[in-house]
Amino acid sequence: MKLNRCAKEAMDDLEAFFIKANSELLARGAPPGEGARVVSWSLADDVIYVEIASEGPIRAHDALLRVKNGIGKELGKKHRMGVRKSSVDVYEIAFSVDYPPMEVVTIPFAASVSFNGTECTLRLENVDEVFLRENYIDRMISLIRDKTAGQHYMGKGEYWKEIWRSPRRETLYQNDPTEEMVERKWIKQGPTKGKWFLRPEITKLMRIMERIAIEEVLAPVGFQEVIASHVVPFDIWIKTGHMGGSPNEFYYVSEPATRDPSAWETFSDLVKITRKVPYEELGKCLSGPRAGICYAQCPVIYWSFTNETLADDSLPVLLFERTANSGRYESGGRHGMERVDEFHRIEPVYIGTKEQMLEIRENMLDRYKHVFNDILELEWRMARVTPFYMQQSGGFGLDDQGSNEEAEKSKGTIDFEAYMPYRGSREESEWLEFQNFSIVGDKYTRAFNIKSQTKELWSGCSGIGLERWSTAFLAQKGLSPDGWPAGFRERYGKMPPGLHLL
Ligand code: ATP
Ligand code: ZN
Ligand code: MG
């Protein structure tokens, strides 16, 4: 700790301060005997060196801040003395993780991370005070726990447990519907990677799916529609955890650095002369990205309630959004119309008490079953899986796994999966996740400080993927309305005349 002056004359008072600190200042808030301790200290002119050890709840870096403030308080008046700046040469933290690492673990800011079984030693060097005050330390510890758990978990495959299965249905169709749609010119790939142009036949089908979701599930349960922006600033994703968890899947959005045409003149001229985009010049005219295209609608819906108090009599709040398209960079995972980079989802979000969330789950699962069993007549199943908010925030959900009974009663994600005959047998092929249903506990209500008058708020969301509903349906029933179940055929009505392309 660098002082504002030489402290030789205050030696006796410092001595007394440090003796008292161990029993008072650094013990405060900890069970007896579990406070932090100043192990040694020394003075050289205007610098005090301290060594602090802690095994209890008072973190060594908190203890340092307490000491720093304490010196100012106790000696400030008498000796006109205070600490200008503190820094840490070496900070060594030992803690245990749940799983021994299977590979080397590295994280930013760490001088080294080493293990002896499940005992981890994290070493930091030359750490400044902001770093300590902002509590990066605890987050570094969580990150190491998460990474070791992740290594363990990767080897095991995702958590998945079937909880319900529809009756088996006769296989009516065995082709990949995307291929047949391309042949029939219902869809056209592009104009950029992982996107499709949908022509009238399939557009109508997607719109009917959307209508069914709204009329048969959302309206009966009491959802109201909202419209959200589909440009999502990074601070929203910092709060939801997506920024750290899924940065490799975002489509990033940049604004012009300025709208002033003179700043863009060279760019425009180059385009006019070369008929090409001068990317280097473009780079000069843009700001770096500060936002991304909607990944899922719920973050912006939660954001809209930041610091709000919801009236008890308005609970549960039930909203859905269907205008913001989702953009995800799926890269090598892309397939057909079912795994694309731009898709159309309806996302219902529900906020209320825990009991209300469980009731919503019952109601919505009933309505979903009605749609998939009675209208679309799908062969499908439900499975409990690693919650999306753990996956997408880069966590691995180990806390939420294994305790299914508890999960059954409260939080978690249920995936809805459809059998895709073109992929092979029921037993061996991968079924398609066509939507999901989640209760996330207080994760997002806490992140956005959404309160009620009296009750603790939970929330959840459900992702209704229209491309997925449509391909699941077509993969089982084929493209010809004759093969479609009556309930769907009725709603679809006549096939649009479509386009006659020569
Ligand atoms: P997956 O495991 O298939 O990548 P996910 O866990 O990333 O899905 P969620 O973020 O939970 O998906 O999104 C919910 C719903 O959004 C999915 O059930 C699906 O209907 C739809 N969806 C997600 N990614 C895509 C995609 N690339 N193309 C089409 N629909 C998608
Ligand atoms: Zn969501
Ligand atoms: Mg995904």
- The tokens of 179 are what? 């291929």
Ligand at shortest distance from the CA of 326: 1
**pLDDT at 427 exceeding the cut of 80:** yes
- pLDDT tens digits, 443-476: 999 999 999 999 999 999 999 999 999 999 999 9
- What letters, b where the CB count within 10 A reaches 16 and e where it falls short, cover 3-18? beeebeebeebbeebb
**433 Cα nearest atom in ligand 1:** 18
- pLDDT tens digits, 249-278: 999 999 999 999 999 999 999 999 999 999
To test the pocket of ligand 1, the residue of 331, 342, 417, 436 to mutate (highest count of ligand atoms within 8 Å of its CB) is 436
User: Which pLDDT score is estimated for 130?
Assistant: 85
> How far, in Å, CA of 171 to CA of 424, rounded?
11
Whether a cis peptide bond, with omega within 30° of 0, leads into 32 is: no
194 C-alpha to center of ligand 3: Å?
Answer: 13
User: Which pLDDT score is estimated for 406?
Assistant: 57
Question: 0.75 cut: is pTM over it?
Answer: yes
Ligand at shortest distance from the CA of 435: 1
Number of neighbouring beta carbons within 10 Å of residue 287: 11
Spell out the CATH class of 160-253+290-492: alpha beta
42 C-alpha to center of ligand 3: Å?
Answer: 56
* Choice between 220 and 391, residue whose per-residue pLDDT is larger: 220
**pLDDT at 402 exceeding the cut of 60:** no
> How far, in Å, CA of 279 to CA of 283, rounded?
6
User: Which pLDDT score is estimated for 397?
Assistant: 45
Average pLDDT taken over every residue of the chain:
93
**pLDDT at 203 exceeding the cut of 80:** yes
**392 Cα nearest atom in ligand 1:** 10
- pLDDT tens digits, 347-372: 999 999 999 999 999 999 999 999 99
Determine whether 339 is an active site residue.
yes
User: How do beta strands 252-253 and 291-293 pair?
Assistant: antiparallel
Half-sphere exposure of 313 (CA within 13 A, CB side): 0
> Minimal CA–CA distance to 492: which of 476, 475, 480?
480
User: How do beta strands 309-310 and 451-452 pair?
Assistant: parallel
- The tokens of 426 are what? 């029921």
**What is 1-85's CATH number, 3.10.20.600, 3.10.20.30, 3.30.1360.120, 3.30.70.1920?**
3.30.70.1920
> How far, in Å, CA of 273 to CA of 268, rounded?
9
**pLDDT at 74 exceeding the cut of 70:** yes
- The tokens of 33 are what? 């005997």
Average pLDDT of the residues in 205-218:
98
> Minimal CA–CA distance to 228: which of 328, 298, 329, 307?
298
- The tokens of 231 are what? 């440009």
User: Which pLDDT score is estimated for 135?
Assistant: 83
CA geometry: angle 396, 398, 403, nearest 5 deg: 140
Determine whether 145 is an active site residue.
no
Please state the length of the chain. Answer: 502
Half-sphere exposure of 392 (CA within 13 A, CB side): 19
Contact assessment for residue 253 and residue 237, using Cβ atoms and an 8 Å cutoff: no
> Closest residue (by CA) to atom 17 of ligand 1?
435
344 CB-near residues (< 8 Å, 6+ apart): 206, 210, 322, 325, 326, 465, 466, 467
- pLDDT tens digits, 86-124: 999 999 999 999 989 999 999 999 999 999 999 999 999
**333 Cα nearest atom in ligand 1:** 27
Domain range annotation of the chain: 1-85, 89-157, 160-253+290-492, 255-288
User: Which pLDDT score is estimated for 401?
Assistant: 43
